[in-house]
Amino acid sequence: MMFLQGYSQYSKHRDSVYEPKPLRLDEINLVESYYNQEGNHSAILGGIGNEHVTDLSNGLDIKFVGWDQHGSKHTIGAGLGIDHHTAASAAFVSKTGASKTPGTRVYPSVNWNVENVKGNSFGIGAYYSTEYNYKSIGLEINAGRKISSNTEVSGKLSAFFDKVKLIYPSELIPQSTVVQTSPNTITTASGRTIRSGGDDEGDDDNKVYIPSSPRNTYTASLTLSQIVNTRMQFAITTDLVAQDGYLGLPFHRVYFNDGSVHVENLPSSRLKLPVGFRLNYFLGDYFIIRSFYRYYVDNWGIRSNTAELELPVKVKSFFSVAPFFRYYSQTASTYFAPYMSHTSADQYYTSNYSLSKLTSNFFGVNLHLAPSEGVFNSHITALDLRYGHYTQSTDLYSNIVTLALTFK
């Protein structure tokens, strides 16, 4: 009897503590950025072309939060991103320079996450991205476990299923072939395929059908977060990434040493292993040291080191100024060679300078403003304004300005 009474009291206690709360709008994040780049090693022209790029990026994330009868916190998020870019080199997909230079990418996403009273969490997410020459579908599952109040382990599995539209440089469009996937579709595998037969036959709007090739990416991530003391914490993250499919881009030219021109050809699989270490330290009452180091290795021959240091200064409790500096270096991929350096004996070849030996520096400042009464007494609870200047040893340089707003 005493046992039942005790159980009854326990149940009442649970009900009173874990009262369900319906989902409500918790947070809106808005991220706007403008990116401007100059360089002269465009892969579209085989490593010698103009790399001028501008990109206007807009991202919106909405987060709803609610609690169930077990006290678990449910978070449902939805995001939408729209990027608009212009790339000078894109004009030269056509040999005459008549191709379009602007493009737009749209990428919505949704996710659901549940965290129980012990701090353990589980979540799933889906992502989609579309632009003229590239489409991507992504799925994600993640879980986190609090080992103690100071230690947390989380893992994530994600898969991206992409389609690369086979748009070749105009002078390299392959000869006619039969597309195997459809009996009504014949002609070039290049991007110049015309439907014949079936419902489309004879229509005036028989449009040029450009086939695609798949690219799949599978990632397994593991993160350990640890609070060391009241001022220091760190996290170790590793992502094991496996890719297969069409891993180059069909409009990238490669000029061989005999003067002939070819479409970039890269292996159909790639394995990457980055390991990142982040350590943050609160120094005194006004300074914070944010540090990051990453070692990266892949089976295309790239080894890379990244070191980043950011030093936020607390001007006020709600306002910080954070100068930052990032140094990056990498070895060249086995498959890279500059303009007119590859030979006909090479099985794989590219003149994409992102796969060359390079170093880069990135520096700038981040302003963070988060007053308790809201920014300028509005619903904006946090404002970040960030500027960065990027230089690469390949003569590429760029500037980026980002504004991030959080509404509550």
Partner 1 sequence: MMTTTQFTQAITFIFLKPFFMRKKISFIMILIAGATVFTSCKSVKEYQKSRINDADMVLKARLSEKPELNFQTYREGAAGANGGKTGGGCGCN
| The dihedral formed by the CA atoms of 375, 377, 378 and 381, expressed in degrees to the nearest 10 | 40
Check residue 351 for interaction with partner 1 (CB under 8 A).
no
Please tell me whether residue 1 adopts helix, strand or coil conformation: coil
Q: Within positions 54 to 83, which residues make up the interface with partner 1, using CB under 8 A?
A: 55, 57, 59, 83
Buried b (16+ CB within 10 A) or exposed e, 256-286: beeeeebbbbbeeebebebebebbbebeeee
Q: Within positions 318 to 337, which residues make up the interface with partner 1, using CB under 8 A?
A: 320, 322, 328, 330, 333
Check residue 355 for interaction with partner 1 (CB under 8 A).
yes
Q: How far is the CB of 168 from partner 1 (least distance, A)?
A: 13
- Please choose, out of 38-46, 69-77, 116-124, 169-177, the segment that lies near partner 1 by the rule CB under 8 A: 38-46
Q: Within positions 80 to 119, which residues make up the interface with partner 1, using CB under 8 A?
A: 83, 85, 87, 89-90, 105, 107
C-alpha closest to that of 142 among 160, 161, 158: 158
Residue carrying structure tokens 């500027």 = 387
- Please choose, out of 67-75, 178-186, 190-198, 228-236, the segment that lies near partner 1 by the rule CB under 8 A: 228-236
CA distance 42 to 49: 4
Check residue 131 for interaction with partner 1 (CB under 8 A).
yes
- Please choose, out of 9-17, 130-138, 253-261, 341-349, the segment that lies near partner 1 by the rule CB under 8 A: 130-138
| Rounded alpha-carbon distances, angstroms, from residue 354 to 47, 56, 302, 388, 390 | 10, 21, 11, 19, 14
Check residue 179 for interaction with partner 1 (CB under 8 A).
no
Residue 5 host element (H or E) = helix 2-17
Check residue 219 for interaction with partner 1 (CB under 8 A).
yes
Give yes or no for a contact between 106 and 82, defined as CB atoms under 8 angstroms apart. yes
CA distance 84 to 302: 30
Check residue 347 for interaction with partner 1 (CB under 8 A).
no
DSSP state of 263: E
What x/- string results for residues 8 through 27 when contact with partner 1 is judged by CB under 8 A?
--------------------
Number of other CB atoms surrounding residue 4 within 10 Å: 8
The tokens describing 190, both together, are: 């290049």
- Please choose, out of 179-187, 190-198, 257-265, 301-309, the segment that lies near partner 1 by the rule CB under 8 A: 301-309
Please select the residue that binds partner 1; options are 8, 69, 269, 344, rule is CB under 8 A.
269
Q: How far is the CB of 184 from partner 1 (least distance, A)?
A: 27
Q: Within positions 149 to 178, which residues make up the interface with partner 1, using CB under 8 A?
A: 149-150, 158-160, 162, 164-165
